[in-house]
Amino acid sequence: MATVITPDPRRWWALSALVASMLVLGFDLTILNVALPALAGQLGAGTGELQWIVDSYIVVFAALMLPAGMLGDRFGRRRMLVAGLAVFLAGSVCGTLAGTPALVIAARSVMGLGAALVIPLGLSVLPSMFGEEERGKAVAAVSAAMAAGLPLGPLVGGLLLDHYWWGSVFLVNVPMAAFGIVACLLLLPESRDPSAPRVDALSSACSALGLGALVLGIIEAPERGWVSTRVLGAFTVAAVLLTVLVRRQRREVRPMLDLGLLARRAFLWNTLAATLGTFVFSGLLFLLPAYFQEVGGSDAFGTGLRLLPMMAGLMVSARASTALVARLGPRPVVTAGLVVLSCAALLGSRTGPGSGYGFAALWLTVAGLGFGLAMVPAMDAALGGIPTDQAGSGSGLLMTLRQVGGAIGIALLGSLAAGVYRDRLDTTGLVAPVAGAARESVSGAHAVAERLGLPDLVRSADTAYVDGMGRVLVVCALAALLTALLTALLLPGRRPQAAPGVPDVAPQEAHD
> What does the pLDDT read at residue 150?
63
The length of the chain in residues reads: 512
Hey, CA dihedral for 413, 417, 422, 423, is it positive or negative?
Answer: positive
DSSP 6: P
> What does the pLDDT read at residue 499?
39
Q: How many CA atoms lie within 13 A of 202 on its CB side?
A: 10
> What does the pLDDT read at residue 354?
81
Q: Which amino acid is at 115?
A: A
Element (H, E) at 495: none
Residue ranges in 349-390 assigned as alpha helix (H): 357-384
CA–CA distance, 91 with 86 (Å, rounded to integer): 9
Residues 6+ apart with CB under 8 A from 385: 261, 264, 266, 267, 496, 498, 504
Residue ranges in 291-356 assigned as alpha helix (H): 300-328, 330-348
Q: Report yes or no: 156 and 400 within 8 Å, Cβ to Cβ.
A: no
Residue 258, Ramachandran bin (φ over 0: left; ψ between -120 and 50: alpha; else beta): beta
**pLDDT tens profile 364-392:** 999 999 988 988 888 877 877 666 666 55
CA-based nearest residue to 345, from 487, 485, 465, 481: 481
Q: Which residues of 11-44 are buried (b: 16+ CB within 10 A; e: fewer)?
A: bbebbebbbbbbbbbbbbbbbbbbbbbbbbbebe
CA–CA distance, 129 with 125 (Å, rounded to integer): 6
> What does the pLDDT read at residue 298?
82
CA–CA distance, 304 with 302 (Å, rounded to integer): 5
State which residues of the chain have pLDDT below 70: 1-10, 29-30, 66, 69, 120, 123-125, 127-128, 132-133, 135, 143-144, 146-151, 193-197, 222, 254, 256-257, 385-396, 493-512
CA of residue 216 relative to chain centroid, distance:
18
CA-based nearest residue to 254, from 389, 126, 122: 389
CA–CA distance, 156 with 28 (Å, rounded to integer): 10
Q: Which amino acid is at 74?
A: R
Alpha-carbon Rg for the chain in angstroms: 22
Q: What is the dihedral of CA 239, 242, 244, 250, to 10 degrees?
A: -130
Residues 6+ apart with CB under 8 A from 182: none
SS3 track for 453-479: CCHHHHHHHHHHHHHHHHHHHHHHHHH
**pLDDT tens profile 18-66:** 777 777 777 776 677 777 777 777 787 777 788 788 778 877 877 777 6
- Helix, strand or coil, per DSSP, at residue 139: helix
